[in-house]
Amino acid sequence: MSLLLPTNLQQYPSSSSFPSSTPLLSPPPSTAFVPRRRCLRLVTSCVSTVQSSVANGSSPAPAPAAVVVERDQIRLGLPSKGRMAADAIDLLKDCQLFVKQVNPRQYVAQIPQLPNTEVWFQRPKDIVRKLLSGDLDLGIVGLDTLSEYGQENEDLIIVHEALNFGDCHLSIAIPNYGIFENINSLKELAQMPQWSEERPLRLATGFTYLGPKFMKENGIKHVVFSTADGALEAAPAMGIADAILDLVSSGTTLKENNLKEIEGGVVLESQAALVASRRALTERKGALNTVHEILERLEAHLKADGQFTVVANMRGNSAQEVAERVLSQPSLSGLQGPTISPVYSTQNGKVSVDYYAIVICVPKKALYDSVKQLRAVGGSGVLVSPLTYIFDEDTPRWGQLLRKLGL
């Protein structure tokens, strides 16, 4: 597609977009824009050619009634490189699922703990595409990639939406200078008198599905989109765009490029998620069992990850009395209430109970408050240790998954 356009910044209007004219900040390079009609024609014809001749995977999109191709192994897609790759493998490792990759350039790997499953390393967007084409059954990707490339396809099911890494948000950003200096919300941006049919707001983004959708949903009419493969934050200062829509995590890139986020400009919050193909789960033998095991391990690890085990001793006359003291404090109820056990000692050859041991799980964020509360009710010798797994009676997301699948 980029071969047909003068720069790698390709411009194409959304359904509600308009041609660009005078830049408002600094003049764009003469090659930065393609006249709207020509651009639209070029991109449209290019896209249709690509779609009709090349599919990324077995088929461009799953037909709902299509038969699942038979194979013995369940396929899990993991990011092959980039910022999600190492974290995905580390998370599985924390769940005692060890991905055995012989060398980093080998794109298939095994997990000995899941003998019927093979791992395929792919670019995040290709994981979504291959889930849709049936070439993968499960995958770990960012929710942003899932939304952008999955486009709400009903075959994609989110099995776990919060894997606790890859946190970022997709957000509109505008310059913090010039005509935007006093603009701080999407509403104010939309109402700026500068935008018209002849001179729409020019937004650069890699999210060419979510961007136009968000603007349409927010009733913003005079907007035109352009795209590039990276370093979008340069577009406003280069005069190529008025605003950008891109991922933000630390906010450093925006700050370093004199850009700011605006109220109401967040399109979505994202983090890594475990995603599955509905067809694979319902039709591929073994897929549901595999996803159940992965989910149980993930939930047990992720739940434990946010908690500490706290053990303390407390003087008391009975377990009941100690329990009443402990439960009088707001942060000491643990997951299902405190475990209180007698501490036996011998005095003059007689076994007696003067102390009780209290065991509770405490959210990491509430640790210091909990310690203070324990001390306030007579707790001493407080021991804190990390928790590795919490296997609950059931896995809440498993029930949700079965309901989503209609099982």
Ligand X SMILES: Nc1ncnc2c1ncn2[C@@H]1O[C@H](COP(=O)(O)OP(=O)(O)OP(=O)(O)O)[C@@H](O)[C@H]1O
Contact between 84 and ligand X by CB under 6 A: the answer reads: yes
Q: How far is CA 124 from CA 1, 119, 128, 292, 344, in A?
A: 20, 14, 7, 23, 57
| Residue 125 or 221 with smaller CB distance to ligand X | 125
Rounded to the nearest whole angstrom, what is the least distance from the CB of residue 360 to ligand X in the complex? 34
Contact between 251 and ligand PRP by CB under 6 A: the answer reads: yes
What is the chain's percent helix, strand, coil content, to nearest 5? Answer: 35, 30, 40
* Residues 2, 274: Cα–Cα separation, whole Å: 32
Question: What tokens does 13 get?
Answer: 């209007």
Binding partner of 124, given ligand PRP, ligand X, none, CB within 5-8 angstroms per partner class: ligand X
Q: Which of 191, 249, 328, 388 binds ligand PRP (CB under 6 A)?
A: 249
Q: How far is CA 397 from CA 156, 216, 300, 349, in A?
A: 16, 33, 11, 53
| Residue 54 or 63 with smaller CB distance to ligand X | 54
Amino acid at 211: G
* Stretch touching ligand PRP by CB under 6 A, among 98-106, 187-195, 235-243, 249-257: 249-257
Residue 339 β-bridge partners: 359
Please give the span between the terminal C-alpha atoms of the chain, in angstroms, as a whole number: 43
Contact between 381 and ligand X by CB under 6 A: the answer reads: no
Residue 384 β-bridge partners: 310
Q: Which of 247, 272, 288, 358 binds ligand PRP (CB under 6 A)?
A: 247
* Stretch touching ligand X by CB under 6 A, among 20-28, 81-89, 177-185, 352-360: 81-89
Alpha-helix residue ranges (DSSP H) falling in 191-276 = 210-217, 235-238, 252-256
Rounded to the nearest whole angstrom, what is the least distance from the CB of residue 217 to ligand X in the complex? 21
Helix (H, G, I), strand (E, B) or coil at 324: helix
Amino acid at 170: L
| Residue 207 or 356 with smaller CB distance to ligand X | 207
- Per this entry, what is the length of the chain? 407
Q: Which of 11, 122, 171, 270 binds ligand X (CB under 6 A)?
A: 270
Helix (H, G, I), strand (E, B) or coil at 310: strand
Cβ neighbours of residue 313 under 8 Å, at least 6 residues apart? 343, 355, 356, 357, 358, 379, 380, 381
Q: Phi, psi (5° rounding) for residue 21?
A: -135, -120
Helix (H, G, I), strand (E, B) or coil at 97: coil
Rounded to the nearest whole angstrom, what is the least distance from the CB of residue 86 to ligand X in the complex? 10
Number of helical (H) and strand (E) elements in the chain, helices listed first: 13, 16
Rounded to the nearest whole angstrom, what is the least distance from the CB of residue 252 to ligand PRP in the complex? 4
Rounded to the nearest whole angstrom, what is the least distance from the CB of residue 2 to ligand PRP in the complex? 15
* Residues 102, 83: Cα–Cα separation, whole Å: 20
Contact between 233 and ligand PRP by CB under 6 A: the answer reads: yes
* Stretch touching ligand X by CB under 6 A, among 1-9, 63-71, 75-83, 387-395: 75-83
Binding partner of 251, given ligand PRP, ligand X, none, CB within 5-8 angstroms per partner class: ligand PRP
Residue 138 β-bridge partners: 76, 276
Contact between 248 and ligand PRP by CB under 6 A: the answer reads: yes
Rounded to the nearest whole angstrom, what is the least distance from the CB of residue 173 to ligand X in the complex? 13
* Stretch touching ligand X by CB under 6 A, among 27-35, 80-88, 215-223, 318-326: 80-88
The mark string for 294-333 relative to ligand PRP (x by CB under 6 A, - otherwise) is: ----------------------------------------
Rounded to the nearest whole angstrom, what is the least distance from the CB of residue 175 to ligand PRP in the complex? 15
Size of the site for ligand PRP (CB under 6 A): 11
Q: Could you tell me if 287 and 137 are in contact, meaning their C-beta atoms sit under 8 angstroms apart? A: yes
Rounded to the nearest whole angstrom, what is the least distance from the CB of residue 268 to ligand X in the complex? 10
* Residues 98, 107: Cα–Cα separation, whole Å: 15
Contact between 8 and ligand X by CB under 6 A: the answer reads: no
Q: Which of residues 150-169 bind ligand X (CB under 6 A)?
A: 166, 168
Could you list the residues that contact ligand X (CB under 6 A)? Answer: 79, 82-84, 123-124, 142, 144-145, 166, 168, 247, 249, 270
Could you list the residues that contact ligand PRP (CB under 6 A)? Answer: 230-231, 233, 246-253
